[in-house]
């Protein structure tokens, strides 16, 4: 038995996960602070923020990620998403500070799940209306000056999005692991709904093809 191969197989997904994060770090920061669109990463080719790497490398990067997911059967949210990796890093920092888990009440979970689908619906509406821009970015040779101009040119909607992102990251750091991923991220919600739909279809097809052998100990007739 080759233990080196076993170790490589065990650590390879983790190495790739944080490699994706390191490569995408600059893009994450610029998207948080300068992306003029309601939903990032959908209009990068037309985006006036010329210093954002996603404007030039989004298509090959997405193609590589899709290929990686197909070949290695990797889950996007837990093994690839750079923002998810950022949430994991924050949670690890939080575990260093305190290992005491924070328990959510049933009422709080219900409210957060409602907010999750509210953000998802808002994202769908934004896409339906052409993914509008908050403001027209002004580019300078200096990044910090560009960021200051973005703050001056942006309206309330821009700051509302920024506060939601920063607030979700702080909650993930202080209280709830992966708060952004679990209760805010529209892409994560769409992936979750897609998985639930696929499982539902598979379950229905399995029930329809099931006979009356009763080996499972259930009355299959009730599903017919």
**Residue pLDDT, tens place only, 184-218:** 999 999 999 998 998 888 888 777 776 656 555 55
Cβ-contact 44, 52 below 8 angstroms: yes
If pLDDT is split at 50, 70 and 90, which confidence band does 4 have?
low
**Model pTM score:** 0.80
Distance, in Å, from the CA atom of 24 to the CA atom of 163, rounded to the nearest integer, reads 21
- Residue 152 is predicted with a pLDDT of 78
- Residue 214 is predicted with a pLDDT of 58
CA distances from 21 to 95, 171, 197, 215 (A): 20, 20, 29, 48
Q: Which of 4-8, 131-135, 152-156, 217-221 has the highest mean pLDDT?
A: 131-135
Residue 156, pLDDT above cutoff 50: yes
If pLDDT is split at 50, 70 and 90, which confidence band does 224 have?
very low
Q: If you average pLDDT over residues 47-51, what whole number do you get?
A: 82
pLDDT in tens, 67-103: 999 998 889 998 999 999 999 998 888 888 877 878 8
Phi-psi region of 214 (alpha: psi -120 to 50; beta: other; left: phi over 0): left
Counting every residue written for the chain, the total comes to 224
Structure tokens at 107: 């009422």
């Amino acid at each position: 038995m080759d233990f080196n191969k076993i170790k490589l197989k065990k650590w390879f997904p983790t190495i790739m996960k944080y490699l994706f994060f390191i490569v995408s770090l600059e893009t994450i920061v610029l998207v948080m602070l300068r992306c003029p669109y309601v939903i990032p990463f959908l209009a990068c080719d037309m985006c006036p923020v010329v210093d954002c790497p996603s404007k030039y490398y989004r298509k090959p990067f997405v193609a590589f990620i899709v290929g990686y997911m197909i070949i290695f059967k990797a889950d996007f949210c837990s093994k690839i998403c750079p923002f998810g990796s950022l949430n994991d890093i924050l949670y690890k920092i939080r575990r260093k500070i305190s290992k005491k888990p924070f328990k959510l009440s049933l009422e709080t979970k219900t409210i957060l799940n409602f907010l999750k689908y509210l953000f998802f619906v808002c994202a769908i509406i934004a896409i339906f209306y052409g993914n509008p821009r908050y403001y027209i970015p002004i580019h300078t040779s200096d990044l910090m000056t560009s960021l200051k101009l973005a703050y001056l040119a942006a309206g309330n909607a821009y700051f509302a999005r920024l506060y939601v992102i920063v607030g979700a990251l702080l909650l993930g750091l202080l209280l709830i692991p992966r708060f952004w991923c679990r209760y805010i991220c529209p892409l994560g919600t769409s992936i979750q709904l897609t998985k639930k739909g696929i499982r539902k279809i598979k379950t229905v097809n399995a029930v329809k093809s099931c006979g009356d052998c009763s080996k499972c100990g259930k009355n299959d007739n009730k599903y017919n």
